[in-house]
């Protein structure tokens, strides 16, 4: 699969697009933040 075909979401804090990561595979539906920094500043 190409990177351009991966699902994309928008971070709830910084509004930047975040692309699907393998580490998020099990909980992609619950991912809201692109990084720890955004999660903490929520």
pLDDT tens for each residue of 7-42: 999 999 999 999 999 998 899 999 999 999 999 998
Residue 31 three-state SS: coil
- pLDDT, residue 1, reads 72
Predicted pLDDT of residue 10: 96
Banded pLDDT at 3 (limits 50, 70, 90):
confident
Closest among 34, 27, 26 to 9, alpha carbons compared: 34
Say how far apart CA 25 and CA 40 lie, in whole Å.
22
Predicted structure pTM score: 0.74
């Amino acid at each position: 699969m190409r990177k351009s075909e991966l699902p994309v979401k928008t971070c709830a804090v910084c509004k930047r697009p975040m692309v699907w990561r393998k580490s998020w595979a099990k909980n992609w539906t619950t991912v809201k933040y692109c990084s720890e920094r955004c999660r903490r500043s929520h």
